[in-house]
Amino acid sequence: MTVACSYIGTSNKIRSLRKYLKEETKIQQIIDFSKVQIFKGAVTYPIIFIAESDFEKDNTFFYHLVENENVFIDSRNHIEYFSLKQDSLGIDSWSFNDKFSVIIEKISNFKALREKFGKCYYGVKTALNEAFIVNNFEIPFSEHVKKIFEGKDIKKWFTPEINKKLILFQAGFSNKQYSVSSESTLLKKMIVDFPELFRLLLPFEEQAKKRYDQGEYWWELRNCAYYDLFAKPKIIFPNLQNSNKFSFDEKGYYINAPAVFLPTKEKWLLGILNSKIVWFFLTHICVVRSGGYIEVKPQYFEQIPIPEIDDAKKKVLVSLVDQMLQSQIELHSAKSDADKRIYEQKVNMLDKKIDELVYKLYDLTDEEIKIVEGNV
């Protein structure tokens, strides 16, 4: 017996449900509201789909993207639908454009970033940024004071140096430093030895004690097994992005979660990550948030396909990336509007050259490039 059902859900949230619908049902119709805000005050991207219980191989279904929230949908005759193949839908995400799906499938034949470069890592978790991340010119850098970028500080290609500092007492430090059993006595010793830091921390004592993420005492940060990686060259990026925002850091900056970093000194990889084709890929697998932002979590970032690249092409790409980084520095330090326009033109020219090279690495055709750039 055939059973029909309809469901209102989100297009990129529930992997097991997507898998079931694709492989076990016959989809009849999907109406996509991801471009409009249906539920006022709530950030949601719903879809409505209607399906039958009897799976049918090579099934096609009707799809409509709602771009005007004032449209009243009551039947297929009132709105424009497209016919799509059910087997074109993915499991990790749904893309409702056959041309897009073909490109995603094509570039996904390359090995994923995780396979080539290993895992990426979240930044430090303070659970109370206002206490542990400070703007203070007076306190010097030390074992317990580190340079830090928050996610909102990270820019595409190059992130200018800022004065934010992280107060870092690692979990277990206090007990190793002092042989006392009383927390109050231990705190007094810490205040004597680190007066400037505790002058900043003490106003937040009660809030800090309530944190779940903390070390053995309220002034310590939670345990982290990879503090040493922050000092090494790395690619850093914010969790939320409305365009590629991958930046290179070799000055030992810490970052705070939910920003993420990949330990690597390979600048050519930065060129690929900041390309239009990678942004195209990410927008089709990442969770969408309000304002055109996508959530680039590690599990999505690590799926990025990385093309094969020989030493000669790496050298060319590294040269372009180095030029881009220098141009970004010059743009940031430019004093006059005329100088800014000059460097902006140079940045745009380098962006175009990098995209052209990366398109070739992924073996995209002219038609596929038009689709990617039109979608971006």
Asked whether residue 103 is domain-assigned, the answer is no
Note whether residue 107 is domain-resident.
no
The answer to whether position 297 is within a domain reads yes
131 and 33 in a single domain? The answer is no
Between CA 285 and CA 295 the distance in angstroms is 10
Burial label, 229 (beta-carbon count in 10 A; 0-12, 13-18, 19+): middle
pLDDT in tens, 174-195: 999 998 778 999 999 999 999 9
Question: What is the 8-class DSSP label of residue 141?
Answer: P
The beta-strand segments (E) located in the chain are 4-10, 26-32, 46-52, 60-65, 82-85, 121-122, 133-135, 145-149, 164-167, 234-237, 240-241, 247-249, 254-255, 260-263, 287-288, 294-295
> What tens digit of pLDDT does each residue of 11-24 get?
455 667 778 888 88
Instruction: Choose among 114, 105, 154: nearest CA to 285.
Output: 105
CA angle 32, 285, 320 (to 5 degrees): 130
Same domain, 50 and 144: no
- C-alpha 301: how far from its chain's center? 7
φ, ψ (nearest 5 deg) of residue 167 = -85, 115
Rounded mean pLDDT of the chain? 86
Q: What is the mean pLDDT of residues 94-106?
A: 75
**How many Cβ atoms sit within 10 Å of the Cβ of residue 161?**
11
Q: Write out pLDDT tens, residues 61-79.
A: 777 777 665 554 444 445 5
Confidence of residue 131 (pLDDT cuts 50, 70, 90): very high
Alpha-carbon span 93 to 117, nearest angstrom: 23
**pLDDT score at 127:** 95
The answer as to whether 106 is a domain residue is: no
7 compared with 164, residue with greater pLDDT: 164
Please indicate, yes or no, whether residues 290 and 357 belong to a single structural domain of this protein: yes
pLDDT of residue 129: 96
**Which pLDDT does position 179 carry in this prediction?**
83
Asked if residue 92 has pLDDT above 80, the reply is: no
- In this structure, the chain runs to a length of 376
Please answer whether residues 33 and 39 qualify as being in contact, where contact means their C-beta atoms are separated by less than 8 angstroms.
no
pTM of the model: 0.78
- Residue 238 belongs to domain spanning: 121-265
Question: Looking at the structure, do residues 138 and 234 belong to the same domain, yes or no?
Answer: yes
**What domain count does the chain have?**
3
* pLDDT(292) > 80: no
High-pLDDT (> 90) share of the chain, %: 61
Q: What is the DSSP string of 315-358?
A: HHHHHHHHHHHHHHHHHHH--SHHHHHHHHHHHHHHHHHHHHHH
Is position 108 within any domain?
Answer: no
Is the same domain home to 203 and 301? no
pLDDT at 354 over 80: yes
Banded model confidence at residue 93, pLDDT cuts 50, 70, 90: low
Same domain? 235 vs 281: no
Averaged over 117-125, what is the pLDDT? Answer: 97
Whether residue 162 is contained in a domain is answered as yes
